[in-house]
Chain A
Amino acid sequence: MREAPSPRYQLVDSVPGFVVVERAAPSNQSRCYFCAEATAPKEAYREGDQEWHFEEAAQSFQFSVRDNATGEVARFHELLGLLYYACLEPGSKLHRIGEVAHSVGISIYIAITYDSPDGTPCEVAPSKLEWLNRAFNDRIRTPGKKILILPDLFGIQEQVSSGQIMLDFSLTTMA
């Protein structure tokens, strides 16, 4: 196998864990967080007047990106997963934007984030997104191909299902 030249930006410190989806009663609000424990916690707990119940867990991982030139490291603890534009409904705004970008060799992915404790999505800082983009683009070897990971400018986070986000849900289904 040929040794690829060492890339400047690299995914490092991969920590395995779980994406845990939980739901509150009585509000029926849902939120998700990352758990790096060896076992996803499944016990219900109270927070104010809400009781949070475990709903689902998927195997996942968190990682950092290291700039090998400076040794700086950024951890992506807010990143839940990436959503490929083509996994969205054809004709939707982002799908259409993604098609245009695709025709010039750019693959658009949306960074979907974990929820903050109040249930609203976290945000990935633009500077960190740039690192993430460089880390993935440094790995690409197909000439002319580019990855563009965007924040959720389009408000799609609340409309997508976990099946559309790159996560390992349903791996353990024994159907």
Chain B
Amino acid sequence: MRLQQIADKLGLEKLTPVFDQDIDGVYISDMISDVIANAKPGNLLVTVQVHANAVAAANLVDVCAIVLAQGKRPSDDVLRMAEKAKITVLSTPLNRWQVASKLYEVGLR
């Protein structure tokens, strides 16, 4: 499934331009070490972590996008960093649980 489709279906707010690509699975964590160890390339990373290191880790493991749950918004510096690394940042007022349920409903595994 494409990132743009997911963003539209879940009504996610785009904090950066969408760098559209195929999504391969979902990884939910707020822990940088977890993301480095376990997230897979092409994963959609769902988190409330808005620290610059979330972008640094996302870039390192080549996740396709970051979905910030609970309406979290990073600073403009962090958004610029993400955009530069071509990592899409999306935001939703839903919490992680709700995001997970919806992603599962639309068919992500």
Contact = CB atoms under 8 A, between A and B. Distances in A.
Interface of A: 1-2, 4, 11, 14, 59-61, 63, 82-84, 86-87, 102, 107, 109, 136, 139-142, 145, 147, 163-168, 171
B33 A87 contact: no
28 contacts: A1-B25, A1-B109, A4-B40, A4-B41, A61-B33, A82-B60, A84-B55, A84-B56, A84-B59, A84-B60, A86-B56, A86-B85, A87-B53, A87-B81, A107-B60, A139-B61, A140-B62, A141-B62, A142-B62, A145-B62, A147-B60, A163-B51, A166-B32, A166-B33, A166-B36, A166-B57, A167-B33, A171-B31
Interface residues of B, number: 27
A61 B33 CA distance: 7
B73 interface: no
Chain A binding surface SS class? mixed
B26 to A, nearest CB: 10
